[in-house]
Amino acid sequence: MTESEKKVRAVVAVPLAEELCGLIEELEPRLEVIHDAALVPPMRGPADWSGAPDFTRTPEQQRAFEALVDSADVLFGIPDVDPDALARTVSANPRLRWVMTTAAGGGSTVKAAELDRADLDRIVFTTSAGVHGGTLAEFALFAVLAGAKDLPRLRTDQDQRIWPERWEMRQVDEMTVLVVGLGGIGAECARRFHALGARVWGTTRSGRPVEGVDRLIALDDLVDAVGEVDAIVVTLPGTEQTRHLIGEEVLRAVKPGVILTNVGRGSVVDEAALLSALDDGRVGFAGLDVFEQEPLPAESPLWAHPRVLVSPHTAALSSKEEERIARRFAENATRLLDGRELRAVVDTVEFY
């Protein structure tokens, strides 16, 4: 085999089923996919990339694992989903060209590795952003419907066996829904709300049109926009720039009774400001899949708030997630080898 025909060595640094390793090679035959199941922790459930917490390696196995990841041209997953392990292998492996994180928010792990600028420029980092778009968009739709139909009131009346006077529910096709962040998840949210007849607005940096979005809103105009919408869907990643973007200033400006759902990162929403807005009725209902601190502390008032639905960061989970991420890896490998731009490249300044 000539140098030009030599396959690219793709090392799987996290748990992955053998059939999915085979799928990657089938989709992109220029890859040689290397995986040693004995050197990574077993999954406890779908897409459990960190694996069983009680898994340990012997010193010999640890050396073998490090030698394996250090031999990679490209990596599927961050070794042990650990920033320190990423930093070690980047330093030890000058041939490493690309790392795909299995998390949509994997940029935070890359940031935590504290790599120098030369390494950040040498290696392309991508995430699985967008792979979870459909599942998270379904939760966002569910949360807005739960607020529109007043699920807490229905649940309370049912628990107390009360048959009240009839009352009017809100209709999605009469609502304006603002999607804050029109990336992969946001675009899927927009598509679903548009299909149900809602008027869809969305925030954008690029200004590029997005299917199903009737109006693009600059982030600088967010405070003005929230006063005109019936529901806010947050899909943004967690960065220094997005921290508490949905905070006191925005929540003071909302239309009273607005429905809020967050399927992005918990840090984007200021929970103290949200609780205040829930208490005085500015926010009528909040369906949250992500939180500032996870697991959500038992003492958090969000648990018991009558107009809050708590989902334990589980809305993205799907038995198909591993296959979708394997397919994304194969697709991006093809792009890399063909000299084309990869999907979901990490911004190594803001790390999203």
Supply the residues annotated as catalytic: 265, 294, 313
The torsion angles phi and psi of 108, rounded to 5 degrees, stand at -65, -35
Q: Helices (DSSP H) in 28-183: which residue ranges?
A: 59-69, 83-92, 107-112, 117-122, 133-148, 151-159
Task: Show the tokens assigned to 306.
Answer: 């009558």
Residue-wise burial string across 19-49, b where 16 or more C-beta atoms lie within 10 A, e elsewhere: ebbebbbeebeebebbbeeebbbebeeebeb
**DSSP assigned state of 266:** G
Straight-line distance from the first to the last Cα atom of the chain, in angstroms, rounded to the nearest whole number? 39
Size (the chain), residues: 352
Helix axes 59-69, 83-92, angle to 10 degrees: 60
Helix and strand tally (H, E) in the chain?
Answer: 12, 12
CA nearest to 328, candidates 345, 347, 306: 345
Q: Which tokens is 37 given?
A: 């199941």
Nearest to 203 by CA among 158, 154, 246, 239: 246
CA-nearest of 21, 72, 8 to 323 is 21
Indicate the Cα dihedral angle 190, 191, 194, 199, nearest 10°. Answer: 20
3-state SS assignment for residue 313 = coil
Tell me if the bond preceding 295 is cis, omega within 30° of 0: yes
Yes or no: say if 256 and 281 are a contact pair by the CB < 8 Å rule. yes
Tell me the C-alpha distance between 291 and 132, whole Å.
18
Q: How far apart are CA 14 and CA 297, in angstroms?
A: 29
